[in-house]
Amino acid sequence: MANGQWFPQDWPERIRGLADGSLSPVTPKRAATVMLLRDTPAGPAVHMLRRRASMAFAGGAYAYPGGGVDPRDDEHHVRWAGPTRAWWAQRLGVDETSAQAIVCAAVRETYEEAGVLLAGPAPDSVVGDTTGADWEKDRSALVARELSFAEFLDRRGLVLRSDLLGAWARWITPEFESRRYDTWFFVAALPEGQRTRNASTEADRTVWIRPEEAAAGYDKGELTMMPPTIATLRALAPHGSAAGALTAARDRDLTPVLARARLANGEIELSWPGHTEFTQLIPAATTAPGPERGPERATAPAPDPAPPSAVAPDSAPDSAHQSAPDPAPVTGGDSV
């Protein structure tokens, strides 16, 4: 393939199984992911991580911090700042308890995987440094699901800052996938005083990079991404600041995007409504359109070529989890 689109080799077989009734779709799990932004002299940069090649889902692909919704956050009432739960329910297309849990998942995953916490002791504040031993103990408990995010907020006396999030898109994993997620994508600006770090055991690399440069890496086949990731990057690229992206989020269409597979004469046409660049035509005699990019890859990927204008990481990786070197920054004011 000419670009970096993630395409598992078992997709054609699973698509045919879905068509002939031998495969039943699994129910997608609720999930949330956050495109964390910070401004640079050349425009906003987004925080991305590369999933380890050994991961069962999207191994080796670049993505944003994100993960599944914790059902314990549905009912537990948390201290809340910003739009009401009713407003979020209408915006996300769910009921109020689900809306709270989805927003909690977005904030929790950003903290778990990037060390950034969108919460504070008051409705108009955010916490400062979260790198101390006591914070790390709580973060580890969240990762292990020994502690729900609602309980964490209560223990710390923190207010969840839903006003720092903007809902950007909603994508549902195709029906023929073995692991399915109903994922809401959010945007948020890096709070003043906080710094990202690679706190995820699922990632071997993190980087700050401008959306247009990440998209260029994908187009060249240098950076592997799933359709939702590259689609949201392209949509972010026109915005000149993190605040501009957050403002634009208010009017974003959250109609779920779900891939469609059409089988005719043994050929498969795979498409994502509204996103023609991802359309794939798979001939009857072909297993997959191009080199394997899915989780079945047995060897670790080679180091990615440096994107042309990557933004340098803003802090060292977590000492307990060393990451691979980030793409090198360029001179001339692009790094921060």
Cα separation, 283 vs 69, in Å, equals 37
pLDDT, residue 52, reads: 64
What is the pLDDT confidence band of residue 6, given thresholds at 50, 70 and 90?
Answer: confident
Cα separation, 334 vs 144, in Å, equals 37
pLDDT, residue 200, reads: 60
For 28-55, what is the mean pLDDT?
89
Cα separation, 79 vs 153, in Å, equals 8
**Percentage of the residues of the chain whose pLDDT score is greater than 70:** 80
Q: Are 214 and 320 in contact (CB under 8 A)?
A: no
Q: Which has the closest alpha carbon to 183: 237, 106, 246?
A: 106
Q: Are 169 and 252 in contact (CB under 8 A)?
A: yes
Q: For the chain, first and last CA: distance in Å?
A: 34
- Over the chain, what is the mean pLDDT? 82
State pLDDT tens for residues 238-270: 999 999 999 999 999 999 999 998 888 888 998
Q: Which has the closest alpha carbon to 142: 110, 164, 166, 118?
A: 110
pLDDT, residue 174, reads: 92
What is the pLDDT confidence band of residue 288, given thresholds at 50, 70 and 90?
Answer: very low
- Helix, strand, coil percent content, the chain, rounded in steps of 5: 25, 25, 50
What is the pLDDT confidence band of residue 19, given thresholds at 50, 70 and 90?
Answer: confident
230: CB partners within 8 A, 6+ apart: 4, 5, 215, 218
205: CB partners within 8 A, 6+ apart: 49, 50, 198, 304, 323, 324, 325, 326
pLDDT, residue 249, reads: 97
CA atoms within 13 A on the CB side of 117: 22
Query: Which residue type is seen at 142?
Result: L
The pTM is what?
0.83
Angle between helices 227-236 and 211-219 (to 10 degrees): 140
State pLDDT tens for residues 173-200: 999 988 899 999 999 999 988 988 766 6
What is the pLDDT confidence band of residue 77, given thresholds at 50, 70 and 90?
Answer: confident
Q: Which two tokens stand for residue 242?
A: 């993190």
What are residue 108's DSSP bridge partners?
none
Tokens 């690399």 — which residue?
205
For 16-24, what is the mean pLDDT?
89
Residue 321 vs residue 112, higher pLDDT: 112
Is the pLDDT at 299 greater than 60? The verdict is no
pLDDT, residue 265, reads: 82
DSSP string, 71-125: GGGTTS---EESS-HHHHHHHHTS-HHHHHHHHHHHHHHHHHHH----EESSTT-
C-alpha radius of gyration, the chain, whole number: 20
Q: Which of 15-29, 127-141, 261-275, 314-328 has the lowest mean pLDDT?
A: 314-328
